[in-house]
Structure 1
Amino acid sequence: MAKIDILVIGGGIVGLTAAIAAAREGARVTVIDAAINAGSTANAGSLHVQMQSRFIRLYPEQAPNVEASLPLYLEAVKEWERLDAELGPFELVRKGGLMLAESQEQMAFLEKKAARERQRGLTVELLDRPALDRLAPWLGAQIVGAELCRDEGKLNPLVANVKLRQRAVALGVEFGIDRAVELVSRSAVTVLCASGARYVADRVILAAAWGVGELVKGLGLHLPVNAEPLHMNITEAGAGQINHLVQHAERTITLKQFGSGQIVIGGGWAAQSRGNVQVPAVLADSMLGNVALAARLVPAIGHLRVIRTWAGMNTTLDGMSLLGAVPGVERVIMAIPGDAGYTLGPLCGRTAACLALAHTPSIDVERLSARRFSA
């Protein structure tokens, strides 16, 4: 077997961008992935920056960590813009994100949230209905106002994933389909796979998101990784008019329009988990509820047909990204994005490659290390 400098476990957005960054530096890189298409390949393409109301409601104990990480999201979107200019285009549009309110109580929630976000460097403002009409006249009559985060955007993940993989292949990165089941770290790292295959590498980057928890148990680290199965839909093409990423102050939804005119509707409706070796199953109630809410918020899309619906896995940890070596096992680098993993993915991937190559990353990773779980 040829010597591997860096073995990347996980071929999603983090693994791809880590592999590209390492290969550019001359490293011999191999990526192995279970190929169950449940993470990045199921993503809907939102570039999140502001705190998602859904996350605040469902994981209030983790919200302070997300809030403290907001400057990282700003850097992450800049990283996407850099990749888009170099390897795209990915249909990246950064005209801001709207979080809608249907009551004065919801507007009050957005006002408090916006004040906290400004303190972290985000560009946000509150819009009343007349201001919103000038920006997004296609919204339903019941919307009383919104928070506009000018830092947010959207892209087409199908295009981005293909172009990034093409770049990795052009750089000599090798890919294999397999599922890592055990890590043994000595002078090099040995990775045993479900197929019986065995890889030996100088460094390993763990970019398998919700699969990382099982892999590091044998190295003495216990991570509170949670796999959250979520639902998404895409419609046939409609007239192009929605330039913003659309969310809601209280209801679970994201909504955006691709350059093709198709509307992608998602945002956190539940899917049914089928374990860690199968894609989650779609739930009819989630599909119906998700698209009904979208049509309520944007009546002009109510006549469009849903042409595909699917499910994927979101990964939650503690609201912060996890970047750095397994404590006591410096050859194994973990790279798990915090909430909104696709947004944070390229920044986390490049940072993980820097750490694996013993370079100094552009962001401070001390607060993001695994030592917070190994005390």
Structure 2
Amino acid sequence: METIDLLVVGGGIVGLTAAIAAAEGGARVALVDAAINAGSNANAGSLHVQMQSRFIRLFPDQAPNVEASLPLYLSAVKEWERLDREIGPFELVRKGGLMLAESAEQMAFLEQKAAREARQGLHVDLLGRSELDKLAPWLGEQIVGAELCHDEGKLNPLVANVRLRARAIELGVDMQIDHVTGLGQQGHVTVHCASGRVHHCDKVILAAAWGVGSLVQGFGLDLPVRAEPLHMNITEAGAGQINHLIQHAERSITLKQFGSGQIVIGGGWQAQSRGNQDVPGVLAQSLLGNIALAARLVPSIGQLRVIRTWAGMNTTLDGKSLLGGVPGAERIILAVPGDAGYTLGPLCGRAAACLALGNEPPLDIDPFTPGRFSA
């Protein structure tokens, strides 16, 4: 019976970066992914740092956990910059994010939010319309002001995912398509797959987002991980002008422009769930509403054709990330980012790899350990 050093379950951004970090540290690594491609491979490439107004509205009970985690987002963007230097380029641009307001009430909301974020170390400014005209003259005339978070950015996830996967293969990571159905720990960890294959490994990292809950139920953990189906669009190329990540103080939207000139539009519009083992479907009302709102905020978008629309899954938890060994089965390591999982993914992946290798992780994991969900 051959035992490998580390098995990573989940081939999204967390699993890939964990596998890369562990392999660079000298471990023999295999990665098993179910190839649903509804998470990181459907992502739109926002690098979030400021609190998303959408999250505050939809999950107000979780907002304090997100607020307390804001320094983690600053570290996460720096981790992305490191990967961009070493494995990229990923078309990473970090010129800040604008959260737009269309009324005095929305500006008041941004003022309060910015004060909370500044206390957590974020670099934020409030801008009036005259200041916005110098920075973003392409905005709709109804925009009265905005919050500028200088820490935010964007990248091209298609490029990033391909380059990271290539790096993992270059390092000798054994990439397998399979579905993990069960785990056991008796000295080493035994991992059972739908194909009938059984892996014996020293450590396991569970980086399968919404899929981790069912895998650890037998270990006394009740994880509130949920798959949230969301909608996205991309336009044909337009004139290059949008340098910032764009959000709204009250409405669900993100938009950003790639170096190609194409504009990606998303930000939390609902998609049709087809269960957790299949890619979500597109809803016409989300397509039309998302595009209409984008064109209202940036009128020039109304002149562009949408060339592709798709759906993916976000993972909701409790507003905080999940990092650390399963209580009583510490060779099984959980790695699930909190809100904005693609942003936090590489930092969480590297932290999980450090734990697997017995090294000091790049962050204090005490607030994020799985023990808070012990039944």
Amino acid of the structure 2 residue aligned with 1:357: L
- Corresponding residue number in structure 2 for 1:6: 6
Letter in 1 for 2:329: V
**CA–CA distance in 2 between the matches of 1:369 and 1:263?**
37
| Corresponding residue of 1:150 | 150
Distance 1:219 1:33 in 2: 22
What is the letter of the counterpart of residue 64 of structure 1?
P
Unaligned runs of 5+ in 1: none
> CA 1:2–1:305 in structure 2 vs 1: closer, same or farther (change >3 Å)?
farther
Q: Kindly provide the amino acid, as one letter, of the partner of residue 231 in structure 2.
A: H
Q: How large is the Cα RMSD of the aligned pairs?
A: 0.7
Query: What amino acid maps onto 1:368 in structure 2?
Result: F
The AA in structure 2 aligned to 1:334 is L
Q: Which residue of 2 aligns with 1:346?
A: 346
Q: Cα distance, 1:13 vs. partner?
A: 0.2
1:1-375 equivalences in 2 (<5 Å) = 2-374=2-374
Quick one: distance in 2 between partners of 1:44 and 1:50?
Answer: 17
CA displacement 1:94-149 (0-9 Å, x = unmatched)? 00000000000000000000000000000001000000000000000000000000
Tell me, in whole angstroms, the C-alpha distance in 2 between the residues paired with 1:159 and 1:4. 30
For each residue in 1:244-301, what CA deviation from the matched residue of structure 2 results, as whole angstroms up to 9, or x when unmatched?
0000000000000000000000000000111121100110100000001000000011
Report SS of the residue matched to 1:339. coil
Identify if the C-alpha distance between structure 1 residues 235 and 2 changes in structure 2 by more than 3 Å, giving closer, same or farther: farther
Determine the C-alpha separation between the residues in 2 that align with 1:373 and 1:125: 37
TM-score (norm 1): 0.99
Return the alpha-carbon distance in structure 2 between the equivalents of residues 344 and 2 of structure 1: 33
State the alpha-carbon separation in 1 of the partners of residues 182 and 316 from structure 2.
22
In 1: Cα distance, 2:267 partner to 2:215 partner: 29
For the 8 Å contact 1:183–1:219, the answer to whether it is kept is: no
SS class of match (2:303): coil
Deviation at 1:322, TM superposition (A): 0.4
Is 2:3–2:199's contact at 8 Å kept on the other side of the alignment?
Answer: no
Deviations 1:45-89 (A, max 9, x none): 000000000000000000000000000000000000000011110
1:311 to partner: Cα distance: 0.5
Identity of aligned residues (%): 77
Kept in 2: contact 1:182–1:218 (CA 8 A): no
Shift of 1:217: 0.5
| Distance in 2 between residues matched to 1:250 and 1:276, nearest whole Å | 29
Once residues 8 and 219 of structure 2 are traced to their aligned partners in structure 1, the CA distance between those partners, rounded to angstroms, is: 17
Residue 3 of structure 1 and its aligned partner are, at CA, apart by 3.0
* Partners of 1:97 and 1:246 within 8 A in 2: yes
Q: Distance in 1 between matches of 2:51 and 2:71?
A: 11
2:182 partner SS? strand
Conserved 8 A contact 1:181-1:193: yes
Structure 2, gaps ≥5 residues long: none
Per-residue CA distance 1:292-325 (angstroms, 9 max, x = gap): 1000000011111110000001001000000000
CA distance in 1, matches of 2:196, 2:304: 48
Q: TM-score, normalised by structure 2?
A: 0.99
Q: Which AA in structure 1 matches 2:18? A: A
Q: Residues of 2 paired with 1:221 and 1:186: CA distance?
A: 18
Structure 1 runs, 4 residues or longer, greater than 6 Å off? none
Q: Which amino acid aligns with 1:241?
A: Q
Q: What is the deviation of 1:219?
A: 1.6
TM-fit CA distance, 1:2: 4.5
